[in-house]
Amino acid sequence: MFDRLENVIGSENIDKLSSKTVAVVGLGGVGSYTVEMLARNNIGKIILVDFDTIDLSNINRQIEALHSTIGHKKNEELKVRILDINPNLEVLLIDEFINSDNIDLIFKNNIDYLIDACDTVSTKKCLILECIKRNIKFISCMGTGNKLNPSLLSITTLDKTIYDRLAKILRKWAKDNKINKKIMVVSSSEQPIKINSKTIGSCSVVPSSAGILCASFVINDIIKS
C-alpha cells in the first residue's frame, strides 16, 4: 500500500511514521486535507478534533463535504474516509469545541504532534500554550480566507508572518505574554482580497494547500528525527 512512499523514504521511516500519533484540531478546509495527507503517509494514529456538522457552504473547500454528507458530523465522515484509505489506522474522535476548560480531552492522550487548523483565536492560544508547556511539537495554520494564490503559502515562524490578520493578533499576544519560543505556522504572504461581504471568502486551492503544508511539516520532521 505504501510501496511508492517507501521508495522515497525507506522502510525505517515507514515504520517511524506508523508509530506516531498526531492530533488535528479543526476539520475544515485546512484540517480535512491535513488529515487526508497524514492517512496517505502511514501515520499510525490520528486524533480528529471537531464538533461541527457538514453544511452546504462547506462543499467548496472541505474534503469530507459532499451533498450526500450534509448534516453529518465532520469527524465521523473523515474517520470513514481515512479508514478506507488505510484500514490499519487507529482513529480517535473528540467531538467537542476545545477551550481552556476541556483542553485535557486532547492532551490526556499520548500525542507526538499537534496540528492546529481551527479558526478560533482563543482555542489557538490554548493549544499553543499547552504544547509549549508539554514540549509537544506543533504547527498552527494562520488565515487562508480571501486569498487566491497557494504559491504564497509557506512554513515559517509566527514572527515572520505578513499580510495575515490572524497572525497579527497572535504575534501581539505572544509578545505581550513574553512567549520567546518559536511558534511554527503555515501562513500566506498574499495580501487579502477586499470583498463586499461580512462573510470571509474562500477558494479551495489555498486552504487545501495550507493543510498539505501542515501535514508535510509533521511528516518531514518525523523522517528527519
| Total-model pTM | 0.97
Kindly report the CATH class assigned to 3-224: alpha beta
Instruction: Name the residue among 150, 209, 221 with its Cα closest to residue 184.
Output: 221
pLDDT tens-place string over residues 106-147: 999 999 999 999 999 999 999 999 999 999 999 999 999 999
- pLDDT of 79 > 90? The answer is yes
Domain boundaries, the chain: 3-224
Q: Percentage of the chain surpassing pLDDT 70?
A: 100
pLDDT tens-place string over residues 136-188: 999 999 999 999 999 999 999 999 999 999 999 999 999 999 999 999 999 99
- pLDDT of 198 > 90? The answer is no
